Amino acid sequence: MSHRRFSMDTSGGDSILSRAKLLNVSSAKYGGDWHSVPHTHSYAELFYTLGGNGQFRIGDKLYPVHQNQLVIISPNVIHTEVSYKVSPLEYIVLGIEGLELSVEDNNDGRFCIIDCPGGGEIASCLRNIYRETVDQKPGYELICQAYMEILISHLMRSTSFAPASEPAANQVSRQCAAVRHYIDAHYKEPLNLDMLASQAHVSKYYLAHTFKSEYGISPINYQIFLRIKESRYLLRETDMSLSQISRILGFSSASYFSQSFRKAEGVSPLEFRNGAGASQKKKSG
């Protein structure tokens, strides 16, 4: 009789992998109507190319990609995908929170591209994650999370891939910063807490609490603050009517604009234009 027993070290319960969270799983294939634009995410992304050929734009440079390659994009890195029409690009993409992904021999630090044989363990994990997500059988979230941890472990074993842990406080700051940047770029548009929470992949209650804790103001009040700030300039430097200004800045009506302005500034928009605005303009001249 032969018997072999191996003890497992489970002391690393708070390891880097245990803090990583699989946020989303999706697939895409170029079909002639692909209009991807440069964008960023507050989490890391892993793209596995199932087929075709194309390019990834990282910053202002293009990098070729082909079938059975894994592209790892670190959080907050501007990127987009470009496909060749003659050989449409098709891929699976994972969004992972809690990891700052890098490769030790990649001095760039923003991304890396790794060759992954179609029949290897890394490709198998990715395909299993996607299949579980599509089928959505009971417990699929836990299974996908487990496959993600196995996937990263295989990357660490077979390449120079090295994950770096991110403290929870940094994750919160990065999520809030991403929402703030989004509001900065879209404050004239109709936004609500559900939309902003979706951008950060968190619940609206979590976002409302953490954003207020981080910046001392709620997300929606921050949007109003930006609108009022812009309205001060328009009142001082242009002859636009209150209706025009309110419409440009996304207020539902001129009366709501006036109400919000008075609440923030202590005077009405017209009083500001005729008094505070004129005196500030005179001083600046």
Of 38-47, 71-80, 81-90, 219-228, the range with the highest mean pLDDT is 219-228
Segment 41-70 shows an average pLDDT of 87
pLDDT number for residue 63 = 92
Judged against a pLDDT cut of 70, whether residue 235 lies above it is answered with: yes
Q: Which residue has the higher pLDDT, 209 or 244?
A: 244
Provide the phi-psi class of 47: left if phi over 0, else alpha when psi is between -120 and 50, else beta: beta
b/e burial code for range 155-180 (CB count within 10 A of at least 16 → b): beeebebebeebeeeebbebbbbbbb
Segment 84-99 shows an average pLDDT of 84
Mean pLDDT, the chain, rounded, equals: 81
> 73 falls in which pLDDT band (50, 70, 90)?
confident
pTM for the complete prediction?
A: 0.56
Closest CA to 110 of 16, 159, 40: 40
Strands (E) located in 128-225: 164-165
CB atoms within 10 A of CB 65: 22
> 173 falls in which pLDDT band (50, 70, 90)?
confident
Strands (E) located in the chain: 21-29, 44-51, 53-58, 61-66, 69-73, 79-83, 90-97, 99-100, 111-115, 164-165
Tokens (6 digits) for 273:
């234009």
Domains and CATH numbers, the chain: 16-165 (2.60.120.280), 169-284 (1.10.10.60)
pLDDT number for residue 18 = 63
d(CA 86, CA 18): 42
pLDDT number for residue 181 = 84
Q: Which residue has the higher pLDDT, 41 or 100?
A: 41
Q: Which residue has the higher pLDDT, 276 or 135?
A: 135
* Local structure of residue 114 (DSSP, 8 states): E
pLDDT number for residue 21 = 84
What's the angle, vertex CA 98, arms to CA 96 and CA 104, rounded to 5? 90
CB atoms within 10 A of CB 70: 24
Judged against a pLDDT cut of 50, whether residue 279 lies above it is answered with: no
**Which residues are registered as beta bridge partners of 30?**
none
Judged against a pLDDT cut of 80, whether residue 119 lies above it is answered with: no
**Percentage of residues of the chain with pLDDT beyond 70:** 78
pLDDT number for residue 197 = 86
> 232 falls in which pLDDT band (50, 70, 90)?
very high
State pLDDT tens for residues 186-200. Answer: 999 999 998 898 877
Tokens (6 digits) for 242:
């209150």
pLDDT number for residue 4 = 74
pLDDT number for residue 49 = 92
**Percentage of residues of the chain with pLDDT beyond 90:** 35
pLDDT number for residue 259 = 94
